[in-house]
Amino acid sequence: MIETRKKRTILISIIGLVLFLLAISSASYAYFTSNLDKTGTGSTNLGTAKLSAKFIDTENLIIKNMIPSDSFSKTFSLENNSTIAMQYKIVIKDLVNEFSSYEDITYVLTDDAGYRKAGTFPKTTQALSDVLTLDANTIRNYTITLTYQNTAVDQSPDMGKTISGKIFIEEI
């Protein structure tokens, strides 16, 4: 009888310990799960009277706590209100990329027609597109998708890191 009580106590203790470890690991995973911090509200216009960009939320790009395989997209439209075609580049300004393995962050820029450009997301301010042309009185929709590539290298040093900047339209 005493032997059965000891076995039951040990079994209950083991089950309790396993449940406790599961709860702790779930909470840790939730903490490191990616979240997006949107600053600002409504549409934002950038550019000149001839060329303007309208963002669904804001031109600010703030990504916190990405984990490998996470993706983040930013959508905006560009409108040419002039009577002539306009040339421009899509640029990320005031960029802060805290990731030490920044080459693991990739981006794809697409528009209404499809693929435009892809590559490693920059570590410093630079153009995300080649020179583009928008015909007179035309609107074009863009999506920039950032992905944190899952690699065989230890990526834990980048837990809790942030990417921030502003998407900007630079007329050529």
pLDDT for 71-116, tens place per residue? 989 999 988 888 899 898 999 888 888 888 878 999 999 999 888 8
Segment 127-158, tens digit of pLDDT: 999 999 999 999 999 999 999 999 988 888 88
Contacts of 40 (CB under 8 A, 6+ apart): 57, 58, 59, 60
Q: What is the pLDDT of residue 117?
A: 92
Tokens found for residue 86: 């306009």
Question: Residue 142 has what pLDDT?
Answer: 92
Q: Could you read off the pLDDT of 100-112 as tens digits, one per residue?
A: 887 899 999 999 9
Check: pTM over 0.75? Answer yes or no.
Answer: no
Q: Which residue has the tokens 């702790």?
A: 24
The alpha carbon of 13 is separated from its chain's Cα centroid by a whole number of angstroms, namely 43
The residue written with tokens 């301010």 in the block is: 125
Predicted confidence at residue 146, as pLDDT, reads 92
Q: CA-to-CA distance for 27 and 29, rounded, in angstroms?
A: 5
